[in-house]
Structure 1
Amino acid sequence: DNSTYRRGRPAFWKAYGLNVAVVIPHVMISLALSILSSYGLKVLRKAIKSWERAALGQLIDTLIASGEPMGVKYDELAALKTGSVFEAACYIGAYLASKDHSLAESLGRYGLNLGVAYQVLDDLAGMSGSEEDSGSLVLLRKVKEGESMAKRLLKESINSALSSVTFLEDSEPFVELMRTVLTGFVVKSGLASSLLPW
């Protein structure tokens, strides 16, 4: 996204050069797909679909940031570019551990909503920063009451993630994981801890 800094440190492309930054993701993705293929077609397909959705989300984000009207809503973009990655990680981990598709789907929904919440926090942090706007930030800034809308989406995403795991006999590890991930981000980015419900 051409940002020269990412969370207070030089962006990868700035530190290692654009040529390396363009090639490294291809190497990493091919290695990941090679590893995932050893777990079967279902896992590989989920990973590829996630990669596709995240790449599409980032493409839309880039086009919006450059001024292209894309006709996508903020929550849809957050689900594509970040939620899909969290969803796949949770789905694949649950499926490999249990071979239970229903459980994996529920934990995938948990991951999707956790990812959306994470993206909202990232954008809220960006609203007060001096870094170049991403497409999702552009969308937030265009909407009247964009910050309020983002805070509502954050709350809805957290609640949806939690409701995705309430059926589990012991959902506390998932609640604690969410607290750790989101609180860690809030602390690192300097956001108000009052954004989170705990």
Structure 2
Amino acid sequence: MNIEEWEEYQHINDAMNDMINSMDDSSQMKSVVGHICRSGGKRVRPIILMLASRICGGNYEKSVNAALAIELIHSASLIHDDILDEGVIRRGVESAHKKYGPAAAMLAGDYMISKSIELISSYTAPVVREFGRAGMAMAEGETIDIKSTNGTFEDSNYFDCINKKTASLFAASAAMGAYIADADEATAEMLKDYGEKLGIAYQIIDDLLEYTETSGDKRSDHESVSILQIYQKDMSQQESIQKATDVAIEYVDMAKDILAKFGPSDAKDKLLKVTDYITIEMIPEY
């Protein structure tokens, strides 16, 4: 699937390019932000927001600023993650702190978070609340991740970590899209649950790919404890890989079961395709 050809992807990229082009040239900030934002990426989270809005009867014109805010705070989190993990490669290119130095990278992250707040500020309270809570959860998840190599780190700690660090932004994206389309709270919570399940599955598979060294577009000098290492305390390497794969697929199925509650639409079909694209289709044997 070539997600770069999707209308939603183009909307996000156009909004991102317009933002970068409008930035002041008098400082290094434009170069750093441009390096980060134009280094690739699937734009999955903002696409989920736009599709969640569409599935609830909304339109892209109203949701694109919120989608850009999601992409900016996600990109900022990657900058901070690379600094903390001593990441050297991100999305196949040199990480921002390696190319520009940690100070410039950290300030670029601050700039992107501030810009995301500006973009989200025009929306209703439920949208802003979901966005803010996701940002706090991501920071909490990162602190759990930092401590993962110190002392006991069990599967319950792992799932708490990825739920906050990764799944929270998927969940917020889906819920925000629903609220932007004026959906009721029950519908927004249902889509939020979809995003959470998808985010958990995505992170397990991302950890699986790193563990089996089949993902070459990211490299860090510091590695966190993954579910594979936890499982391998009690079983063989192959058994731990199979168990992690099975757990990820269970979460994918739960996410799809939630989408099944919505009527037929192009947005629903695309959400199902995105779900498989970042999970099942990433598993080598599938």
Is TM more than 0.5 here? yes
Q: 68, 78, 97: which one pairs with 1:13?
A: 97
Alignment partners' CA distance in 1, 2:246 and 2:132: 31
Quote the residue 1:104 is aligned against.
188
Counterparts of 1:101-180 in structure 2 under 5 Å?
101-129=185-213, 131-132=220-221, 134-137=223-226, 139-144=227-232, 145=235, 146-170=240-264, 171-180=268-277
Q: How many residues align?
A: 187
TM-score (norm 1): 0.83
TM-score (norm 2): 0.59
Q: 109, 120, 128: which one pairs with 1:36?
A: 120
User: Secondary structure in 2 aligned to 1:45?
Assistant: helix
> Is the alpha carbon distance of 1:115 and 1:40 closer, same or farther for their aligned partners in structure 2, counting shifts above 3 Å?
same
Alignment partners' CA distance in 2, 1:80 and 1:68: 20
> Is the alpha carbon distance of 1:95 and 1:193 closer, same or farther for their aligned partners in structure 2, counting shifts above 3 Å?
farther
Deviates more, 1:125-134 or 1:151-160: 125-134
User: Secondary structure in 1 aligned to 2:172?
Assistant: helix
CA-based RMSD of the aligned residues comes to 2.2
User: Secondary structure in 2 aligned to 1:99?
Assistant: coil
Cα deviation, 1:87-146, whole Å, max 9, x if unaligned, reads: 111110121023322211111111111111111111011102374453342x53133344
Checking the alignment, whether the CA contact within 8 Å between 2:252 and 2:279 is kept in structure 1 is no
Q: 152, 172, 186: which one pairs with 1:88?
A: 172
Alignment partners' CA distance in 1, 2:157 and 2:285: 26
Alignment partners' CA distance in 2, 1:164 and 1:133: 36
Checking the alignment, whether the CA contact within 8 Å between 2:97 and 2:104 is kept in structure 1 is yes
* Residue segments in structure 1 that go unaligned for 5+ positions in a row: none
CA-CA distance at 1:70 after TM superposition: 5.4
Larger radius of gyration, structure 1 or 2?
A: 2
> Is the alpha carbon distance of 1:136 and 1:118 closer, same or farther for their aligned partners in structure 2, counting shifts above 3 Å?
farther
User: Secondary structure in 2 aligned to 1:5?
Assistant: strand
* Residue segments in structure 2 that go unaligned for 5+ positions in a row: 1-84, 214-218
CA-CA distance at 1:77 after TM superposition: 1.8
User: Which has the bigger relative contact order, CA under 8 A and spacing at least 6?
Assistant: 2
